[in-house]
């Protein structure tokens, strides 16, 4: 059900994110169909086989493939997977917590566009990625800016009187990532900012 709303947003539909506390914001998934300023600072850090988690329509997966780097996108939305494949990328319709090819082989795993929020439990997600990347492998995560609050939100997607089920989504501040990463099996953290976005490399 969530995937159906995401698909509508990819097509340009007016889909909103509704928070349990009453806040509402636009989803605007169509912005992930194209290059986002700052993407190059993620791509430049990928030197080996890369798993793009929550890859959406696959702009990063496809860019890595064109760079000659083996890359696999995973997403739960059929249209997103189809768009990635159409553009020349490799993608599977799969949840990150399901069995995946290449467990323990990936050099890098990406959590771009706030995907560290998947599942509403960033520590569990990072522990899962610790299993998926090789020893010494790296997770590259996009995070909320300094001074923001790390939180777990209860949200749903809504369009024209229809709504998805409620689900958990997390945000993680750049201020909190080092401690979270250490608890999740990544003792080294490098942080940086580019094009108004905030990133960390966990290894």
Looking at the domain assignment, is residue 157 inside a domain?
no
pTM of this prediction? 0.96
State the pLDDT at residue 161.
86
CATH code at 53?
3.40.50.150
- The CA distance from 172 to 146, in Å, is 10
Looking at the domain assignment, is residue 23 inside a domain?
no
- The CA distance from 19 to 120, in Å, is 13
| pLDDT tens by residue, 30-52 | 999 999 999 999 999 999 999 99
Q: What is the DSSP letter of 173?
A: B
Looking at the domain assignment, is residue 117 inside a domain?
yes
Looking at the domain assignment, is residue 7 inside a domain?
no
| pLDDT tens by residue, 71-123 | 999 999 999 999 999 999 999 999 999 999 999 999 999 999 999 999 999 99
pLDDT over 80 (residue 68): yes
Q: How many domains does the chain have?
A: 1
Looking at the domain assignment, is residue 29 inside a domain?
no
| 2 SS3 class | helix
| Nearest by Cα to 110 from 88, 137, 136 | 137
Looking at the domain assignment, is residue 118 inside a domain?
yes
Which residues are registered as beta bridge partners of 109?
Answer: 51, 139
Looking at the domain assignment, is residue 135 inside a domain?
yes
Q: Are strands 50-53 and 106-111 parallel, antiparallel or unpaired?
A: parallel
Q: Which domain holds residue 106?
A: 35-151+164-202
Looking at the domain assignment, is residue 12 inside a domain?
no
């Amino acid at each position: 059900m969530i995937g159906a709303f995401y698909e509508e947003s990819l097509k340009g539909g007016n889909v909103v994110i509704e928070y349990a506390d009453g806040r509402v914001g636009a989803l605007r998934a169509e912005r992930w169909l194209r290059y986002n300023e700052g993407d190059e600072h993620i791509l430049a850090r990928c030197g080996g086989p890369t798993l793009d988690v929550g890859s959406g329509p696959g702009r990063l997966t496809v860019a890595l493939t064109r760079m000659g780097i083996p890359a696999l996108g995973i997403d739960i939305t059929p249209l997103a997977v189809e768009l990635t494949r159409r553009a020349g990328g490799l993608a599977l319709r799969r949840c990150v917590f399901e069995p995946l090819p290449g467990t323990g082989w990936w050099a890098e795993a990406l959590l771009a566009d706030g995907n560290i929020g998947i599942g509403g439990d960033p520590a569990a997600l990072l522990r899962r990625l610790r299993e998926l990347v090789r020893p010494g492998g790296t997770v590259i995560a996009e995070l909320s800016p300094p001074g923001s609050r790390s939180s777990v939100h209860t949200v749903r997607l809504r369009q024209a009187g229809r709504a998805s089920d409620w689900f958990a989504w997390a945000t993680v501040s750049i201020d909190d990532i080092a401690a979270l990463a250490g608890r999740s099996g990544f003792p080294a953290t490098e942080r940086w900012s580019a094009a108004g976005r905030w990133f960390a490399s966990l290894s």
